[in-house]
Amino acid sequence: MFLKGIIRLLFICLGMFPVLSFSEILPPESPPQNFLAISGEIQAVPLTWMMHPNTKVSGYVIFRSNSKGSDFKEIAKLESRYITSYLDGREPTSTTFKLLAKLQKPLLADNKNYYYQIAAITGENTIGEFSKTIKATTAQRPSPPLNFRAFSGGANVISLNWLLPKDKTIIGYRIYRKNSKDGELLSITDISGRLTLSYVDKGSGEESLESGHEYHYAISSINQAEVESFITKIVVAKTKNVPPPIEGISASKGKVKSIELSWDPSPIPDLKHYVIIKERIDASESNKEIKVSVDSTTYFDENLPDGARYHYKVKAVDIDDLEGTPSLEASGITKSIPSTPKNIQVSMDNDKLIVRWNKNPEPDIEKYEVHKITGFIGVMKKLGVTKKPSFVDRDVEKGDRVSYKIVAVDEANLKSEKSDVITISIPK
C-alpha cells in the first residue's frame, strides 16, 4: 500500500511539475520541492519529496505537529541529499502474522490529522527555510467482526462464530472471555487468518470449561500493523448441564446371595447409559462401577456373600459422556444364614438318647441337622434331620461317649454355623 502510494505520487509530481534544469538550481537554504504526505495509512504517514538539486545540501529535517501552524517538533534528521521519502509512524510489519500479547502503543493515533514541514540541511550543517505545511490523516482503527455469536449447549465447550469484516487489512482476531458477569475480561487466544470465522473454546491450558456454567465473550480484529479494533459487545453462552441426579433408588434386603437395585428412569433425551457405584461397608472390597444399559432401570447384583451389606448409588451418563451427580445412597443386604442353635441338652431315656435345643428365632427355619461324633477317633457324621428342636437317638450302646452338634437350615437351604458340642457318657 505504501509503495503504491509513493509511485502514484511520483507520477503526479512528474506530471504537474517540470523537472528543474541546472540553470534553475535552487539555493541550498530553500526547502525541497513537491513535499507530499499520504493519508489513509494505518498509524503511519508516508512522506515524499523531490531530491534537492543543490549539491551543497547534505540532508533534510522533518517536523511534525498535531495541530496546524503551531508546536512543530523535529521527528527525523536524514543525512543524505538522495533520500526522498520517510515513513512517520509504524515500521512495515512482517508478512508472517504474529499477534502480540499486548499491543505496543502506536506512535500515531488512528483517524487523526497530522501536519508536516521539511527543511534542507546545508553543508555547513545549518537548517534552511521551512516548507509549506502539509496535512495527512491516518486511517481509522480496524472494524471489529460482525454478528459475533456464542452458542450454548456444548459439552464443556462453547462454539463461537462471526461474519467477515469489510476491512481487508485485517489479518486475524483476538477472543476475550470472562467466567462471570462481574469477572475480568481476559484475552484467551489469537486467531490467524482474516477468513477464519469460528472458534471452539475448550478452556485454557489444563483448565477446561465447567459443565452448566455461563461464560461471557467478546472479539476484536487485528490488522496488518497489529492494530487492534475495539471489542464487540459481550455475548453469553452456557455449557451443557450434566444429567440430573437419579431418583427413586432402592435396594432389596433379604434376598439369597443377591441384591436387587431399582431406580426411576433418567429424564434426559440423550441418555447413553447408567453407572452403578457399589461399595461394601463391612469388608475390604474396593468400590466398583458397573455400566448398565440405557433400557434398564433394575440391576441384580448376584453371587454375594450371605448377610453382606452394600451401598449403591446410580448416575446417568449422556451421549457426550457427561456424568450426572450420583443419586442418594441405597443400602441392600443379602439374606443372613440362620443363627446358631443354642442351649443343646442330652438326656437318657431307657435305651435311647434325647437331644433338645432352643427353637431358632427365624420364622423360615425348615429343619435342623443333627450331627454325631462317636468312636475313639471322633469322626462326625450327620445323624439325621428333624423339623422340631429335638431328636431321638436310638443307636446307642452302653459305655459309649457321644457328642452332638446341631445345624439350623432355612427355606433357602442356608445353613447356620454348627452349634457348640454337647457330650454325654452312657453308663455301662
In this prediction, residue 49 carries a pLDDT of: 97
258 in Cβ contact with 304 (< 8 Å): yes
Q: Classify residue 340 as exposed, middle or buried by CB count within 10 Å of its CB (0-12, 13-18, 19+).
A: middle
Max mean pLDDT among 30-34, 101-105, 282-286 falls in: 30-34
Position 9 pLDDT exceeds 60 = no
Average pLDDT over the chain reads 88
Report DSSP state, residue 129.
-
Domain positions in the chain are: 2-137, 146-238, 250-334, 345-425
Asked if 2-137 and 345-425 have one fold, the answer is yes
Label residue 428 by pLDDT band (50, 70, 90).
confident
Using alpha carbons, select from 73, 71, 9 the residue that is nearest to residue 40.
Answer: 9
Report the distance separating Cα 102 and Cα 104, nearest Å: 6
* Residues 6+ positions from 124 with CB-CB distance below 8 Å: none
Residue 5 has pLDDT above 70, yes or no: no
pLDDT at 418 over 60: yes
- Give the pLDDT of residue 96: 34
C-alpha cell at 230: 475495539
- Superfamily of 2-137 according to CATH: Immunoglobulins (2.60.40.10)
Using alpha carbons, select from 104, 102, 101, 99 the residue that is nearest to residue 89: 104
pLDDT of residue 8: 47
pLDDT number for residue 20:
45
The pLDDT value given to residue 262: 97
Q: Does 350 score more than 70 pLDDT? A: yes
pLDDT digits (tens, 9 = 90+) for 62-109: 999 998 877 899 999 999 999 999 999 876 554 333 333 333 456 788
DSSP code for 23: G
pLDDT: is 42 or 342 the higher one?
A: 342
pTM (predicted TM-score): 0.67
Residue 41 grid cell: 495509512
Measured distance CA(350)–CA(401) in Å, rounded: 16
Fold of 250-334: Immunoglobulin-like (2.60.40)
In tens, the pLDDT along 130-163 reads 999 999 999 888 899 999 999 999 999 999 999 9
Among the four given CATH numbers 3.30.70.20, 1.20.1260.10, 3.20.20.70, 2.60.40.10, the one describing domain 345-425: 2.60.40.10
Beta strands 309-318 and 298-301 are unpaired
Q: In whole angstroms, what is the distance from residue 217 CA to residue 185 CA?
A: 8
Lowest mean pLDDT among 80-89, 103-112, 185-194, 247-256: 103-112
The alpha-carbon radius of gyration of the chain (Å, integer) is: 48
- The string of DSSP codes covering 50-74 is PPP--TTEEEEEEEEESBTTB--EE
Choose the weakest-confidence range: 17-26, 90-99, 114-123: 90-99
Residue 241 burial by CB count (10 A; 0-12/13-18/19+): exposed, middle or buried?
A: middle
Q: How far apart are CA 423 and CA 428, in angstroms?
A: 16
Strand order through the sheet with 330-334:
253-255, 330-334, 309-318, 271-280, 288-292
Q: Does residue 421 contact residue 403 with C-beta atoms inside 8 Å?
A: yes
Exposed, middle or buried, 137 (CB in 10 Å: 0-12/13-18/19+)? Answer: middle
Helix, strand, coil % over all residues of the chain, rounded to 5: 5, 45, 50
Cβ atoms within 10 Å, residue 143 = 16
- Which architecture, in CATH terms, is 146-238? Sandwich (2.60)
Q: Which residue has the cell 459481550?
A: 234
Cross-strand bridge partners of residue 161 = 149, 198
The per-residue pLDDT for 376 is 63
The x, y and z cell numbers of residue 401, run together, are 461317649
Q: State how far the Cα of 12 lies from the Cα of 400, in Å rounded to an integer.
A: 139
